[in-house]
């Protein structure tokens, strides 16, 4: 009964979060465009699926991914093995990024546009190679980004100076990178902070900061996602310069 009650609360919370979006769409469709909603039954059913999916996703995060991420980080901290912690951080960043649906969509779209623009051959093999190269480049960058973020937590380094230095590097690479890859690189930094990567990486940072004496989870536990957004932009621009 407690689980059912919590699930219903999550459902109502998801519905409340989506109500502003629903209200905006309804206002512009009915008041501004003054047209009826097409396929009203289908739209309502789709909204129900969206709310249900979002509810199950949030419920699953709170029940499974957040606890296991925090517990594993704390276990690694107690074990005292920096090497294994770094390997785990890299594998976590790489694995979650490869599995990101948003990254797959962006990589496939970028490959199609590159083929149409004549940058690569317009065949399935060339497009698959380009898309997979982009995906694995981003995944590698996120793996190294999470390692860097974990090392920052262990050493207690100040995040602002690292982020400022990183974005200076992004600006410098933007000057030399091919124009065709710059937009893709910037978007790649955004798609890494999506449904799969964010929960596990956030749980890792908070759990690790909670387990290390002298670290504040609020100050030191967050910030890993910033590295996961920053490094992909740099790596993808370097990838563009290499294949160019």
Which tokens go with 3? Answer: 């689980």
| 216 and 134 co-located in one domain | yes
The two counts, helices (H) then strands (E), for the chain are 11, 0
| 85 and 52 co-located in one domain | no
For residue 43, tell me if it sits in a domain.
Answer: yes
Domain count, the chain: 2
| 155 and 54 co-located in one domain | no
For residue 69, tell me if it sits in a domain.
Answer: no
| 28 and 97 co-located in one domain | no
pLDDT attached to residue 218: 81
| 123 and 239 co-located in one domain | yes
For residue 125, tell me if it sits in a domain.
Answer: yes
pLDDT attached to residue 167: 92
Contact (Cβ atoms closer than 8 angstroms) between residue 89 and residue 204: yes
| 129 and 92 co-located in one domain | yes
| 120 and 219 co-located in one domain | yes
For residue 75, tell me if it sits in a domain.
Answer: no
pLDDT attached to residue 1: 67
| 56 and 112 co-located in one domain | no
> Which residues neighbour 213 within 8 Å (Cβ) at sequence distance 6 or greater?
none
Where among 64, 95, 116 does a domain terminate? 64
For residue 35, tell me if it sits in a domain.
Answer: yes
Range of the domain at 197: 81-243
pLDDT attached to residue 173: 94
Q: Within 13 Å and on the Cβ side, how many CA atoms surround 153?
A: 35
pLDDT attached to residue 126: 86
State how far the Cα of 52 lies from the Cα of 18, in Å rounded to an integer: 11
Cα of first residue to Cα of last residue in the chain, in angstroms, is: 59
Regions of the chain short of the pLDDT cut 50? none
For residue 220, tell me if it sits in a domain.
Answer: yes
pTM value is 0.76
For residue 197, tell me if it sits in a domain.
Answer: yes
DSSP-derived letter for residue 31 is I
Contact (Cβ atoms closer than 8 angstroms) between residue 77 and residue 138: no
| 200 and 106 co-located in one domain | yes
């Amino acid at each position: 009964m407690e689980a059912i009650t919590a699930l219903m609360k999550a459902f109502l919370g998801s519905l409340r979060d989506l109500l502003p979006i629903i209200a905006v769409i309804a206002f512009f469709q009915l008041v501004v465009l003054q047209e009826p909603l097409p396929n009203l039954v289908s739209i309502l059913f789709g909204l129900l699926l969206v709310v249900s999916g979002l509810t199950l996703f949030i419920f699953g995060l709170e029940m499974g991914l957040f606890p296991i991420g925090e517990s594993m980080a704390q276990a690694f901290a107690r074990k005292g093995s920096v090497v294994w912690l770094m390997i785990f951080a890299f594998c976590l960043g790489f694995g979650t990024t490869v599995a990101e649906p948003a990254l797959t969509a962006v990589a496939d779209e970028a490959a199609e546009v590159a083929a149409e623009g004549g940058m690569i051959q317009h065949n399935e093999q060339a497009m698959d190679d380009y898309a997979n190269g982009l995906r694995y480049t981003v995944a590698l960058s996120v793996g190294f980004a999470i390692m860097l973020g974990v090392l920052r937590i262990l050493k207690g380094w100040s995040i602002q100076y690292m982020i400022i230095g990183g974005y200076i590097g992004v600006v410098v690479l933007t000057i030399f990178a091919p124009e065709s890859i710059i937009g893709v690189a910037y978007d790649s930094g955004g798609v890494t902070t999506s449904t799969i990567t964010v929960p596990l990486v956030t749980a890792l940072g908070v759990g690790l900061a909670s387990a290390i004496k002298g670290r504040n989870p609020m100050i030191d536990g967050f910030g890993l996602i910033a590295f996961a957004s920053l490094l992909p932009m740099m790596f993808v621009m370097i990838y563009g310069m290499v294949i160019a």
